[in-house]
Amino acid sequence: MAKNSNTLKRPLIVLGGGIHQIPYIKYCINNKISTIVIDQNEDAIARDYADHFLKIDTSNVPKVIEAIEQNTSKEGIAGVLVAGVELAVLGASISKHFNTKSIDVNTAVNATNKIVRAKKFKEFRIPTPKFEIVDSIHNVSLDYPYVIKEQEGSGSRGVRIITSKEDNSEAAKDFAGDGISKYLVEEFVDGHEISIEAFIHKDKFYYYCFAVRDIESLSSGKIIEHGSISDPSYDDNKRNDVEKVFERACFALGIKEGPVKGDVLYTDSGPCLLEVASRSAPLAPLISERIYGVDMVSMHIKWVLDSNFKFEPLPVEFSESKPVSHRILFHEPGTIKGISGIDEAKKSKGVLKIIILKNLKFPMVLDYPDNSNRILYVAATGSDATRARKNADNALSKINLIYK
């Protein structure tokens, strides 16, 4: 295949063309860094901000690398950015091919494949739920309730809490046709779930997210998130316990540098690791400058591009950070013919950001809410965590969905 006649000289490859990648691309525009955005969605919202946009199946690593080669000069690429998307393995594979900074491919697999990750945690004695691996969700030996997970996929996607035979049957219907050959099954553990995020540089963890998630278990075992809250007055001893376990888990997976995020359940017995991923989450970096005093969007890009990178300035201590709550707009299933109040909500007290997750083209037909079809969410701060939550809820209350 011949090269594109309009090739770019040492661009930054940005994986994912969604709303959460736009701030990274805007930073590149402002700093004259050329970008190639890769997404398998033809209508990816970030495509209009990129120098080049490539619509490619991101599961096909050789095809992605070939397409990059066709659109870059002989000098190759400057680096690969994996932010807010579960594409760490693809990112590491591209970086290996073009010899740019990244975690290695094995580490990316460790932090992406739920079964591989669970085995690593067990090997290094990281506290995690008791688990088993099955080739069919009908072959589970654990007692109810238990949690079943597809071996790949971010967060709660492909996850069910099974409390009965009926839940199991519903999960089997949902998972049918996914091409999954093995499942991770974990005992259900009570506790509050914490989302934690840091940047590792020279073996030191710089934290810029510690939030308690608001997650609900629905009928048939499905899980839905309503938001989260970061409270600087959270117990220091518990937070330190969580950070210690999280750091051990990262090193167990081989993650020694770059962005990391995790989900930790705090139980009566202490922290219990659920997930660790070698990437940043969608929201935290976008508000980190206003909450922790450090812009993690520019920091991440500088780390990717600069071999002499220094982590400066440092984020403030968690106890000195600003409280923040993010709340997700709820919708009823049906046909939506319009939406109002977004501009008014943006002006509400304490609002940091309103992130619109969908292209607001109407009419819009939506099924029951799940973690893949939400319309938007609000992030807000306040004088304390309670006020931050009220400010976020108040902003959401001004947004109205108009149904047919």
pLDDT digits (tens, 9 = 90+) for 105-140: 999 999 999 999 999 999 999 999 999 999 888 899
| Residues 31-76 pLDDT 10s | 999 999 999 999 999 999 999 999 999 999 999 999 999 999 888 9
Q: What is the pLDDT of residue 244?
A: 98
Instruction: Using alpha carbons, select from 246, 222, 212 the residue that is nearest to residue 149.
Output: 222
| 392 CB-near residues (< 8 Å, 6+ apart) | 227, 325, 326, 327, 350, 351, 378, 379, 380
Cα separations (Å) of 309 from 159, 200, 258, 298, 299?
Answer: 38, 12, 11, 12, 9
Helix (H) or strand (E) holding 391: helix 385-397
CATH code assigned at 46: 3.40.50.20
Query: Average pLDDT, stretch 226-233?
Result: 97
Residues 206, 314, single domain; the answer is: yes
Share of the chain above pLDDT 90, in %: 85
What is the 3-state composition of the chain as percent helix, strand, coil, each rounded to the nearest 5? 30, 30, 40
Is residue 45 included in any domain, yes or no?
A: yes
Q: Tell whether 358 and 300 lie within a shared domain.
A: no
| Residue 25 shares a structural domain with residue 131 | no
pLDDT of residue 153: 57
118 and 88 part of one domain:
no
Pair (293, 328) in one structural domain:
no
Predicted local distance difference test score (pLDDT) of residue 2 = 44
Does the residue 119 lie in any domain? yes
What per-residue confidence (pLDDT) applies to 371?
Answer: 85
- 129/91 same-domain check: no
pLDDT value of residue 1: 44
**Residue 169: CATH number of its domain:** 3.30.1490.20
Does any domain span residue 243?
Answer: yes
Same domain, 133 and 41: no
Co-location of 60 and 121 in the same domain: no
pLDDT at residue 179, rounded to an integer: 64
Domain end point (choices 146, 161, 187): 187
Question: If you average pLDDT over residues 376-387, what whole number do you get?
Answer: 98
CB-CB contact of 195 with 209 (8 Å) = yes
Domain count, the chain: 4
d(CA 404, CA 391): 29
Residue % of the chain over a pLDDT of 70: 96
Same domain as 179, residue 204: no
In a domain, 5, yes or no: no
151 part of a folded domain: yes
Which stretch of 165-174, 209-218, 295-304, 310-319 has the lowest confidence by average pLDDT?
165-174
Average pLDDT over the chain reads 93
Q: Which of 60, 78, 102 is the last residue of a domain?
A: 102
Whether 39 is in a domain gets the answer: yes
Mean pLDDT highest for which of 4-13, 164-173, 226-235?
226-235
Verify that 120 and 67 share a domain, yes or no. no
Q: What is the CATH classification number for the domain harbouring 337?
A: 3.90.600.10
* Full domain range(s) for residue 371: 324-403
Average pLDDT for 219-228:
89
Tell me: do 314 and 387 sit in the same domain.
no
Please say which residue of 187, 217, 240 terminates a domain. 187
4 is a domain residue? no
Write down the pTM of the prediction. 0.93
Report the DSSP pairing between strands 159-162 and 183-187. unpaired
Q: Are residues 141 and 71 in the same domain?
A: no
Contact in structure between 36 and 13 (CB atoms under 8 Å): yes
